[in-house]
Amino acid sequence: MSDKALIRARAAELRAFFEKAGAVVAETSLLQPAETLLDLYGEDIRARAYVTSDSLLGEQMLRPDFTVPVVQMHMEHGAEPARYTYSGEVFRRQEEDTRRANEYTQVGYEIFDRDNPAAADAEVFALIQEALSPLDVRVSTGDIGLLKAAVQGLETTERRKAALARHIWRPRRFRSLLDRFAGRVEVPPSREALLAQDEPMQSGVPFIGLRTPAEVSDRIEALREDVGAMPISAGQVELLDALLDVRETLPFALEQLRDIAVDLPAISPAVQSLRDRIEALDKRGVNVDAIEFEGSYGRTNMEYYDGFVFGFYAEGRADLPPLATGGRYDALTRVLGQGNEIPAVGAVIRPEVVLQLEAGA
Amino acid sequence: MTIKLGVPSKGRLMEKTFDWFGERGVSLARTGSDREYAGKVEGVDGVELVLLSAGEIPRELAAGRIHLGVTGTDLVREKLGLWEQQVEVMAELGFGRADLIIAVPQCWVDVDLLDDLDAAAAAFRKEHGFRMRIATKYHRLVRDFLRENGVADYQLVDSQGATEGTIKNMTAEAVADITSTGETLRANHLKILSDGLMLKSQATLFRARRAPLEGNDRKVLETLLETLDL
């Protein structure tokens, strides 16, 4: 059998496994409207996805993932709760690394369920683990919801919280904002000069473009408020760093997070969710003592995961992409649902990585 | 079997390139009528002059259809992925200097840094319902630069010319373009972000790493580079 045929056969097995677990097969188009994806992911998606176009329909993208079309399909006419599985190719540009595949197969499992998020998280995770079970894998997990809650819990202005929350997925930007809000770096000279002026709007230059004078003066107001605001305390920054630095097996991570929650009570509900998730995983027979939790895991992915996140990696094979990745994406359903939303969690397996590992074993 | 040297086919870039080679004992000249894209090389045997649009020289180098080529660093970096694996810099020629920068309207008195641009983009998206538009023809370079610097909530719109005019025409809010003196920017009421310098570009002689060398080619290439003192 050719490589492609082998991958297809392995993908079919995995999909059948997910069907047996109760999922309905979902089919999506290879060509996806570019606008939705661009609005969701921003320019970064252009660097990752192949864009094509015609003179009638305009720009379209070769399916970079299944999540978006599956969510759209569900939001339009899905019954609740729902479980879907799918198998097919996705396409990603690889302009930085020629060894990475620009076309590969994904087999996925997605749950849309309002009742019990912890159980749904555990179900997806346990199924993926079972599907990969004979292989020597390392698992990493994290929780973007904890980070979001921690940012919301900082004692600072709403604007600063919003700015930090917006950049959770851009660690460098997040850090430089945090340094500034904590008073660890000087206010840039140009900003100081601007705020020293009595009438900064009277610059004498003509107003051009779509961004209005009102928008400019609003931002100056925001900058004034920011300069006058109390710095985020060193203690709070330490708490946030402690959270980001957590790197333990699940039960120990929970202990550490509980300690952090004593001083940062805003994360308590998220810590509670983690506890529920650990219990649900345990109930499903997952050995939670063997699963690592990293406080900063999932921060460099595309920004739709907003809760539980996880990845399965081939032990000792840093050259291989992850065997499987997944997570919770409640906010995505809100964005795509046009007024509707539903908690959702899912994951994908890459069968050709599974095959590579099976062949090497 | 000749060594093919790609040179911009018109304007100052071509003339300056001819001068640069001339000063080093290799005379390049156009032949035929001044509309005909043909040329000759004197001073080294076995070298053929190929006159091309500067924008196409990176692609021709990458494909190995020319062995050497003169074009801007900006174009090579924009058009070639992993450019260092495809071409080698042989010499920076000291002319055709231009900076790739990000510029915004001067009336945006609140925006001087990328940090400001990012914050303004977030507010803009909330206000207008779409991402702030940056007009450019350097899509890859700008996207990489903005990602590196953590700017979000923007979109790139393609502009192949008269880019500075897009803001006034309401088709973009900011521009990313090359500039040498900044005069066009000022004339269009734009200013450069203080930390918005993406790349300093100049005319550069590149060697194609993948161009096939047959028969005498290697010897000819060596002789040419020796003559040029490279």
Every domain of chain B with CATH number 3.40.190.10 lies at 3-97+202-227, 98-201
Q: Is residue A167 part of a domain?
A: yes
Cβ-count burial B193-214 (b if 16+ within 10 Å, e if not): beebebbebebbbbbbeebeee
Q: What is the pLDDT of residue A276?
A: 98
Is A156 a residue whose pLDDT tops 70? yes
Is A304 a residue whose pLDDT tops 90? no
Q: Measured between CB atoms, does B110 come within 8 Å of chain A?
A: yes
Q: What is the pLDDT of residue A361?
A: 53
Q: Is residue A175 part of a domain?
A: yes
Chain A nearest CA to B85, separation (Å): 11
Between CA B183 and CA B177 the distance in angstroms is: 13
Between CA B166 and CA A288 the distance in angstroms is: 56
Cβ atoms of B84 and B199 closer than 8 Å: no
Q: What is the pLDDT of residue A57?
A: 87
Q: Measured between CB atoms, does B167 come within 8 Å of chain A?
A: yes
User: For chain A, which residues lie within 8 Å of any Cβ of chain B, measuring from their own Cβ?
Assistant: 38-39, 42-44, 46-47, 95-96, 98, 163, 166-167, 170, 172-174, 176, 188, 190-191, 194, 200-201, 203, 205-211, 213, 215-216, 218-220, 222-223
Between CA A117 and CA B195 the distance in angstroms is: 44
Residue with the larger pLDDT of the pair A256 and A1:
A256
Structural element, H or E, at residue B89? strand B87-92
Q: What is the pLDDT of residue A40?
A: 85
> Beta-strand (E) ranges in B106-182?
132-136, 154-158, 174-179
Nearest alpha-carbon partner for A345 in A301, A295, A317, A310: A310
Cβ atoms < 10 Å from Cβ of A113:
17
Q: How many CB pairs under 8 A join A and B?
A: 111
User: Which residue among B107, B130, B144 sits closest to A206, beta carbon to beta carbon?
Assistant: B107
Is A302 a residue whose pLDDT tops 80? no
- State whether A176 and B139 contact (CB < 8 Å): no
Q: What is the pLDDT of residue A41?
A: 85
Cβ atoms of A214 and B127 closer than 8 Å: no
Range of the domain at A193: 157-201+213-234
* Amino acid at the residue A134: P
Fold that domain B3-97+202-227 belongs to in CATH: D-Maltodextrin-Binding Protein; domain 2 (3.40.190)
pLDDT tens-digit readout, A247-296: 999 999 999 999 999 999 999 999 999 999 999 999 999 999 999 999 99
Q: Is residue A222 part of a domain?
A: yes
Tell me the chain B residues in contact with residue A173 when contact means C-beta distances shorter than 8 Å.
118, 149-151
Q: Is residue A42 part of a domain?
A: no
Find the DSSP H helices in chain A.
3-20, 34-41, 44-48, 67-77, 117-131, 144-152, 158-166, 171-181, 189-196, 213-228, 234-245, 250-263, 268-283, 330-336, 351-360
Q: Domain count for chain A, please give it.
A: 1
User: Which residue among B106, B112, B123 sits closest to A190, beta carbon to beta carbon?
Assistant: B112
Q: Measured between CB atoms, does B139 come within 8 Å of chain A?
A: yes
As a whole number, mean pLDDT of residues A155-177 equals 94
Confidence of residue A1 (pLDDT cuts 50, 70, 90): low
Fold that domain B98-201 belongs to in CATH: D-Maltodextrin-Binding Protein; domain 2 (3.40.190)
Between CA A291 and CA A50 the distance in angstroms is: 36
Nearest alpha-carbon partner for B207 in B5, B2, B22, B1: B5
Confidence of residue B33 (pLDDT cuts 50, 70, 90): confident
As a whole number, mean pLDDT of residues A168-173 equals 91
Confidence of residue A318 (pLDDT cuts 50, 70, 90): confident
Between CA A10 and CA A289 the distance in angstroms is: 30
Can you tell me the ipTM of this complex? Answer: 0.89
- State whether A188 and B154 contact (CB < 8 Å): no
Q: Is residue A333 part of a domain?
A: no
Q: What is the pLDDT of residue A329?
A: 94
Is A85 a residue whose pLDDT tops 70? yes
Confidence of residue B193 (pLDDT cuts 50, 70, 90): very high
Is B137 a residue whose pLDDT tops 70? yes
The three-state secondary structure class of B174 is: strand
Cβ-count burial A83-104 (b if 16+ within 10 Å, e if not): bbbbbbebbbbeeeeeeeeeeb
Q: Is residue A227 part of a domain?
A: yes
